Structure 1
Amino acid sequence: MFDHAERRRRLFEVMRAEGVDLLFVGLSSDLEYLSGVERGIPFFGQSSYPHGWVAGGFFRPDADPVFVLPRMVVVFDLPVRPEGDIVVVDEADDGSAIFERVARGLGARGTVAVGDRVWAETTLELGRIFGLDRLQTGSSLVNRLRRVKTADELEAMRRACRTVEHAMAAVAPQVQPGVSMAELREEVEAQLRVAGSLTPSFATHIFTGMDPDSLDSGAPTARDPLSDGTPVLFDFGGVVDGYCSDFGRTIVAGEPPDGFVAAYEAMLAAFEAGRTACRPGALAREVNAACREPIEASGLGEHFRHRMGHGIGLDVHERPFLSPEDETPLEAGMTFTDEPSIVVHGSFGLRIENVVVCAEGGARVLNEYPNDLVTNG
């Protein structure tokens, strides 16, 4: 589906321009992007194999990649063999010696870049082999390529958006007095699987606010029953073909509290202002400021406590960020979340989140689920 050879060709252009002879990336979204080596489904804790630190791939301009992988990864975690050479490290092998032999054999004489998602031991070994002064961070090189999505990538992200929309449609009617956040979370994740999501793209979060006594799927109040007239905030995502969605809506169990409807209208205005500002040439911080402006004008600015959004793709959070410190000029085809929220302590919360694509005239929205306020009266 994805042209990994073309991705590597573009990487090599960046490496040559930056004077980088060799790039090593571990098992990560960067490696999947460049080679098709899929990541496993995340889980609590860390799996470990003998010589696990060697796992990854070396990339150098105009050559096939060279992968160094523990035997257990090759046998159990590599359903499709990637293009390039694979050096297998057995449990009884001298992993350090094999890794050094492969690394030195690639002939790098200048800068060696190291991906962000590698073991500390890997970086120390590369420093020993090449000299620490020759190392630099490498994921920024790949991020330049990953920021702008191709048509195939956008189609995968659309499918990931459909999984969350299916789940939201199934779960929304269940937001009734007496339901718990844990029950809603369990149903959301079950419906994601029904819709074809490989896994949640991050920990599903369903909550009523940010006060200590608020109901929250990740807190001790997860099993407490919902009261009538309480808004429930949803934040969850799905994964299709390696690409993520990140989605949010607010559903009210009954009639909304005082001030809620006006706040919801301000939030929708913020969403639209951010979407309209998300166009090529705009700075990321400017788009964030545009999103904030309607909420500030409504007098609720102090209750919008985070940024407008973040890049999204193979990872649910990617650079650049739509936030005050980010000076990145946007390009057509970059993908972001547009997620204004208002959380008033001791009163109510509300949020919305869609995935948008930077475009001339304002971003296109990949989601199809309505933004309208839903009340289950």
Structure 2
Amino acid sequence: MNNRIDHLLKQMNQEQIDSTLITSKANIYYFSNYLTDPHERLVAIYVDQKGHTLLILPEMEEKDAIAAGWSKDILSYNDDTDPWLLLKNYVEKTGHVPGSIAVEKENLSLSRGEIVAQSFPNTEIKDATELLNQLRVQKDQKEFQLLKQAAQLADFGVKTGVKAIEEGKSEMEIVAEIEYALKREGVREMSFSTLVLAGDKTSSPHGNPGKQKIEPGNFVLFDLGVVYEGYCSDITRTVAYKHATAEQEKIYNTVLKAEKAAIDACEIGKPVGDIDKTSRHLIEQAGYGKYFMHRIGHGLGIDVHEHPSMSGNNTLPLKEGMCFTIEPGIYIPEVGGVRIEDDIFMTKKGPEILTSYPKDLQIIG
């Protein structure tokens, strides 16, 4: 973790940032190896250019943070104490009131932002979001192994869901079977709410599973992911139940072709936007362009959606160590939808696909 703090300080120096206050759950974990959900309580890391590095957290979590490997300053508090006042006093005692402080503007609430401004009235408030995104975008070997394990558990989740498909069974019943099986494998947390959609509901990219029952001729779409030791996976597979029409097969095979082409297009140095354009062009050629209404994917790591956004206008070049999803889809109202999604890790040799559940059209039953 010390190397990560050192990299942060180097970037702060380059961007002329005097201090940084980190408050998001994901970044707290990244820099401390301590994974916690603080709810309404403050957990934060304060770092300045003079070498002061502080973890502030509730007193009841102090031993857990130390056990996780945190060895620098700790400032713990109980529920009768104002942690912001303690932080202000700590900074003043260092003798170095910062000229600027970078905060996570996308994470910090307005009320907490006002507290920071009031606590350090002569300090310029800057945004640390992009700086922290850039530090996390390239994963190391340990992160690769955690992401790979999370992906394997996602494969297991889809396999469980496909096996659970039966006529008359509801979407939520299948969700329950998937999550129960994953709990038995030791998974405590899903990356997001598990999605099982059937029939015309598959035409909604972010639909909500409910009591709709599986019927012959349905597409059944699974979108799920797990959190494994703080790292996320995200997979989507679509199958047909009993039979599929010629139109359904055409939609499916178009998405599959677009997904494979996008993965093949992943090369070190290529702009992220080119990956989206490769997939989108094939879907447009097949006549389904207006039914593919989202980006090709997103970054993946401690957060299930993180930097970079895999959108068509992103000029960021692909780099070794990046992890992201590739997930084209076609969604036609009253007909149904197909999405196929894999987790991709960029290596020197090219893209490695972490998720491995079969992608050719399966007709179940």
Q: Give the secondary structure class of the aligned counterpart of 1:223.
A: coil
C-alpha distance in 2 between matches for 1:184 and 1:215: 18
**Among 105, 109, 132, the residue aligned to 2:98:** 109
TM-score of the superposition, structure 2-length normalised? 0.91
**What is the CA RMSD across the aligned residues, in angstroms?**
2.5
Find the aligned partners of 1:102 and 1:112 in 2 and give their Cα distance.
Answer: 15
| Structure 2 equivalent of residue 34 of structure 1 | 31
User: 1:142: Cα distance to partner?
Assistant: 1.6
Which deviates further from its counterpart, 177-186 or 193-202?
193-202
Does residue 277 (structure 1) correspond to residue 278 (structure 2)? The answer is no
The 1-side partners of 2:180 and 2:65 are apart by 25
Match of 2:290, SS state, is: helix
Alignment of 1:111-126 (within 5 A): 111-115=100-104, 116-126=106-116
Measured against aligned partners, the alpha-carbon deviations of 1:92-151 in whole angstroms (never above 9, x if no partner) come to 334443221123334143321112433433322221233376111113212111101111
Change (3 A) 1:173 1:90: closer
Cα 1:91/1:195, change in 2 over 3 Å: closer
Write the mapping of 1:1-377 to structure 2, written as runs, cut at 5 A. Answer: 4-40=1-37, 47-48=39-40, 52-53=41-42, 55-61=43-49, 63=51, 65-74=53-62, 80=68, 82-106=70-94, 107-115=96-104, 116-131=106-121, 134-208=124-198, 218=208, 222-359=210-347, 362-377=350-365
Distance 1:324 1:132 in 2: 41
Moved more, 179-188 or 60-69: 60-69
Q: Which amino acid aligns with 1:180?
A: S
Deviations 1:60-107 (A, max 9, x none): 247362122233444788863622111122233344432211233341
Query: C-alpha separation between the residues in 2 aligned to 1:159 and 1:122?
Result: 36
Amino acid at match of 1:29: A
Aligned residues of 1:284 and 1:323 also touching (Cα < 8 A): yes
CA contact (8 A) 1:104 1:129 kept: no
- Residues in 2 aligned to 1:350 and 1:191: alpha-carbon distance in whole angstroms: 25
Q: Secondary structure at the match of 2:161?
A: helix
For 2:62 and 2:145, how far apart are their aligned partners in 1? 30
Q: Partners of 2:48 and 2:136 in 1: how far apart? A: 18
TM-score (norm 1): 0.88
Q: How many residues align?
A: 363
SS of 1:310's partner is: strand
| Gap change, CA 1:73 and 1:120, over 3 Å in 2 | farther
What residue identity is the alignment partner of 1:23? T
Q: Structure 1, residues 253-277: CA drift from partner, whole Å, max 9, x if none?
A: 1101331112211111111111122
Q: Name the CA distance, whole Å, in 1 between partners of 2:248 and 2:263.
A: 22
**3-state SS in 1 of match to 2:108:** coil
Which moves more between the two structures, 132-141 or 284-293? 132-141
CA distance in 2, matches of 1:215, 1:303: 10
Deviation at 1:235?
A: 0.6
One-letter identity of the residue aligned with 2:300 = I
The 1:132–1:341 alpha-carbon spacing in structure 2 relative to 1, beyond 3 Å, is farther
Share of identical aligned residues, percent? Answer: 26
Equivalent in the alignment of 1:43: none
Could you report, residue by residue, the CA deviation over 1:9-49 in whole angstroms, capped at 9, with x for unpaired residues?
A: 11111111111111111151011101112033xxxxx943x
Q: What amino acid is aligned across from residue 39 of structure 1 in structure 2?
A: T
| Deviation, structure 1 residue 171 | 2.1
